[in-house]
């Protein structure tokens, strides 16, 4: 049932996103039909063709109105129907295939990605098949067109169609390229950010700090680690609920992030445990930073749902030395120091003593 509900929500969000800019998509053929209508009226002096395109312009506009009143699915098919009528009329009855208007059908398989959602695979496929059949019908149409144009006029219309199609394809590829880049950025953030606290997750921490550790070893530079654990955090969840506990974690993470140095790497290590990597920082400097953070957290009053909560934190500090051969070993040293801080009564900072 949960999976079904999730699928329904995803479909609803997808449809809502499509509806939000459908008016813009439908507006493009409306304007094109209006421009062609003016072209036929004033340049070709063909009132019938101009009237036909103006009626199609109104038809495209009606799809915007239908979509506005919440009938998005009907609006999409109405848009497709008017487009088919418009292109078949121009490419067969009015000007014939030589005008090149039927080449606009080649845009329909691309346009379905704008008009229909990813879930509507059958609709996308149907439009693509219909557009292909219509293109072939118009391309091989043998009837005599109603409007006889000169060769220069025919060539002009054909070239205009090709240029319009090329620009439409370029605009579409630009749109999809930007969309893919945005989704890649979102996936990167999902893979590297902790969703609750919006700071680095454990994976991102190791990805960044492994290089820091390698550089520190190669250049013989100092590197310190602070392991931080909120004291008695379980009581917050037990007494006030997990919603309050989640808020406390997020609030604490943002508070620490605001007071970290720009070069430090801060992440949620797991549960109520956080970790900070401090490049080019000695053990004494790291201890001073940890004490400052400990005092900051102890003095912070967290307000939520008329509650006022205060928390303390225990911290373990370790520094890279010749006896440490890996980042995991350095973190393990800080973790041992954290355990000692817990054993000493919490709300304190303990430094790992190098052997």
Parallel/antiparallel/unpaired status of strands 302-304 and 273-279:
unpaired
- Report which DSSP code applies to 92: I
Where is 315: in which H helix or E strand?
A: strand 313-319
Parallel/antiparallel/unpaired status of strands 349-351 and 313-319:
parallel
Q: Is 280 a catalytic residue?
A: no
What's the rounded Cα separation, in Å, for the pair 355 and 337?
13
What's the rounded Cα separation, in Å, for the pair 122 and 179?
23
For the CA atoms of the chain, what is the radius of gyration?
33
Angle, helices 2-42/47-68, rounded to nearest 10 degrees: 160
What's the rounded Cα separation, in Å, for the pair 327 and 215?
12
Sort residue 350 into left (φ over 0), alpha (ψ -120 to 50) or beta.
Answer: beta
What's the rounded Cα separation, in Å, for the pair 99 and 53?
15
For 79-89, b where at least 16 C-beta lie within 10 A, e where not — what string? bbebbbebbbb
Sort residue 301 into left (φ over 0), alpha (ψ -120 to 50) or beta.
Answer: beta
Among residues 45, 272, 291, 300, the one annotated as catalytic is 272
Number of H helices, E strands in the chain: 11, 7
Place of tokens 């190098």: 354
Distance of CA 289 to the CA centre of its chain: 36
**Annotated catalytic sites, by residue?**
272
């Amino acid at each position: 049932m949960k999976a079904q509900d999730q699928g329904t929500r995803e479909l609803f969000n997808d449809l809502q996103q499509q509806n939000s800019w459908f008016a813009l998509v439908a507006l493009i053929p409306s304007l094109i039909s209006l421009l062609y209508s003016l072209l036929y009226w004033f340049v070709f002096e063909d009132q019938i063709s101009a009237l036909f395109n103006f009626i199609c312009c109104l038809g495209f506009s009606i799809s915007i109105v239908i979509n506005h009143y919440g009938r998005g699915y009907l609006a999409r098919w109405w848009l497709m129907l008017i487009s088919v009528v418009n292109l078949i009329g121009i490419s067969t009855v009015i000007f014939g295939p030589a005008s090149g208007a039927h080449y606009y059908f080649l845009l329909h398989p691309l346009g379905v990605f704008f008009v229909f959602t990813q879930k509507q695979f059958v609709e996308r496929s149907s439009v693509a098949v219909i557009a292909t059949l219509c293109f072939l019908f118009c391309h091989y149409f043998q009837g005599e067109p109603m409007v006889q144009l000169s060769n220069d006029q025919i060539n002009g219309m054909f070239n205009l169609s090709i240029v319009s199609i090329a620009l439409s394809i370029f605009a579409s590829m630009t749109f999809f390229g930007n969309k893919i880049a945005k989704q890649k950025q979102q996936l990167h953030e999902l893979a590297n950010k902790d969703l609750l606290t919006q700071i680095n997750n454990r994976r991102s921490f190791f990805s960044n700090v492994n290089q820091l550790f390698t550089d520190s070893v190669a250049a013989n530079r100092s590197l310190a680690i602070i392991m931080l654990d909120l004291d008695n955090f379980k009581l917050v969840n037990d007494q006030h609920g997990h919603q309050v506990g989640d808020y406390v974690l997020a609030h604490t993470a943002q508070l620490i992030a605001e007071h970290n140095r720009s070069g430090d790497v801060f992440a949620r290590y797991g549960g109520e445990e956080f970790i900070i990597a401090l490049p080019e920082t000695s053990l004494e400097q790291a201890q001073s930073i940890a004490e400052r953070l400990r005092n900051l957290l102890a003095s912070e009053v967290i307000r939520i749902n008329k509650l006022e909560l205060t928390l303390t934190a225990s911290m373990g500090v370790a520094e890279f030395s010749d006896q440490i051969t890996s980042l995991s070993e350095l973190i393990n040293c800080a973790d041992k120091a954290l355990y000692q801080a817990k054993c000493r009564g919490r709300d304190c900072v303990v430094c790992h003593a190098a052997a």
